[in-house]
């Protein structure tokens, strides 16, 4: 039985449509007069002995408390097992301390999720797509078993269907992205960029690879303001790329920064994102150059592992 937060209803229904063995559960997301959650799980007695999952979206801090309340409660309803699906681990970019006083909120989030009670089947399984740094798996305690999936296979399918598929070259905005995703693209030539920040400016150069005459697809795990991608595209076009596209698993785009890419002067032929950030998808779905790749099939597969 699959439960879900309000923002993930569309994905939950797509998952259930793919796998007929998945039944959708219902939660009443209400609030008291003071604004605090008043949540009710319908037909909770029918969960006894069943495998239960919850599809979450921690897209802003205000929704985390109410969803954690459900996540902590479902495993204690005498269920056979419990699995948490959190497509986007939102604090992933704040995973380390570079100077004293910085707070690594990814560690805090991992501790909170590591406190999920055991079900009858043991520790909670957690499915996350393209977490920012793979070493974050070690932030979680023994009460949760993370499965780190990827949206890259969806991109590979899309690239294979392009008319100029033979001319596609993969580019990375920095060496970190190259190390993270290089193994997915063994069949493709690659370009590696490097960036240096000077105040609010990003100076991007090409470290290795040749974009001349090629359709360059910039690949990264997430995008915030999009400034680095735009600067990468400028450099790649200046060096002779015939077209530039981009892919990120998580289109965070705070303050509607996705609008920067709808301007033709930004020069992106395609911008692929997944539906891991539902509010972004609802805003830019169907707006060129954005194309949304659905995670439902990948999640349905992961639920059967």
Domain check: are 12 and 117 in the same one?
A: yes
End-of-domain residue from the set 149, 169, 189: 149
Asked if residue 304 is part of any domain, the answer here is: no
Let me know if residue 305 belongs to a domain. no
Q: Are residues 237 and 280 in the same domain?
A: yes
Indicate whether 177 and 60 sit together in one domain.
no
Identify the pLDDT of residue 101.
86
Tell me, yes or no, whether 96 and 176 share the same domain: no
Here the tokens at position 206 are 């090409």
One domain for residues 130 and 171: no
Q: Minimal CA–CA distance to 244: which of 256, 232, 253, 255?
A: 232
Same domain, 120 and 202: no
Buried b (16+ CB within 10 A) or exposed e, 241-254: bebbbbbbbbbbbe
Among the candidates 149, 170, 191, a domain finishes at: 149
Separation CA 151–CA 155 (nearest Å) = 7
For 37, the 3-state DSSP assignment is strand
- Residues of the chain with pLDDT below 50 are none
pLDDT value for 105: 87
What are the residues whose beta carbons fall under 8 Å from the beta carbon of 160, sequence distance 6 or more? none
Straight-line distance from the first to the last Cα atom of the chain, in angstroms, rounded to the nearest whole number: 15
Structural domain range at position 18: 2-149
CB contact at 8 A, 253 and 226 = yes
What's the pTM value of the predicted model, to 2 decimals? 0.93
Q: Residue 164 falls within a domain, yes or no?
A: yes
Rounded Cα distance between 41 and 82, Å, is 15
Q: How many domains does the chain have?
A: 2
| 196: Cβ contacts below 8 Å, ≥ 6 apart | 202, 203
CATH number of the domain at 110, please: 3.40.50.2020
C-alpha 260/C-alpha 187 separation (Å) is 31
Do 85 and 217 lie in a common domain? no
Residue 151, token pair as written in the block: 């949206």
Please tell me whether residues 202 and 141 are part of one structural domain.
Answer: no
The answer to whether residue 74 is domain-embedded is yes
Q: Are residues 106 and 210 located together in one domain of the fold?
A: no
Residue 302 lies in a domain: no
* pLDDT number for residue 271: 98
Q: Are residues 209 and 144 in the same domain?
A: no
- Residues 136, 227, single domain; the answer is no
User: The tokens of 18 are what?
Assistant: 């793919």
> What is the distance between the alpha carbons of residues 90 and 260, in angstroms, rounded to a whole number?
22
Q: Which of 149, 176, 208 is the last residue of a domain?
A: 149
């Amino acid at each position: 039985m699959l439960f879900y937060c309000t923002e993930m209803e569309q994905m939950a229904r797509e998952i259930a449509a793919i796998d007929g063995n998945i039944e959708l559960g219902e939660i009443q997301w209400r609030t008291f007069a003071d604004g605090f959650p008043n949540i009710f799980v319908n037909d909770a007695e029918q969960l006894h002995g069943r495998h239960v999952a919850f599809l979450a979206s921690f897209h802003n801090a205000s929704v985390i408390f109410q969803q954690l309340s459900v996540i902590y409660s479902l495993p204690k309803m005498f269920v056979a097992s419990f699995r948490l699906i959190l497509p986007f681990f939102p604090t992933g970019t704040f995973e380390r301390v570079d100077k004293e006083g910085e707070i690594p909120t990814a560690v805090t989030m991992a501790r909170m999720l590591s406190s999920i009670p055991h079900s009858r089947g043991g520790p909670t399984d957690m499915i996350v797509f393209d977490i920012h740094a793979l070493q974050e798996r070690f932030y979680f305690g023994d009460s949760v078993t993370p499965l780190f999936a990827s949206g890259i296979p969806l991109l590979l399918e899309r690239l294979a269907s392009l008319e100029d598929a033979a001319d596609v070259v993969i580019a990375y905005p920095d060496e970190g992205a190259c190390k993270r995703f290089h193994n997915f693209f063994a069949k493709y030539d690659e370009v590696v960029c490097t960036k240096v920040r000077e105040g609010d400016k990003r100076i991007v150069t090409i470290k290795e690879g040749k974009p001349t005459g090629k359709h360059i697809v910039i690949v990264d795990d997430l995008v915030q303001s999009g400034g680095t991608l735009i600067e990468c595209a400028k450099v790649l076009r200046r060096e002779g790329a015939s077209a530039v596209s981009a892919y990120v698993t998580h289109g965070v785009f705070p303050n509607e920064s996705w609008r920067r890419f709808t301007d033709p002067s930004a020069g992106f032929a395609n911008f692929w994102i997944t539906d891991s950030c539902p509010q972004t998808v609802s805003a830019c779905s169907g707006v060129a150059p954005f194309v949304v790749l659905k995670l439902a099939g990948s999640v349905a597969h992961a639920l059967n592992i």
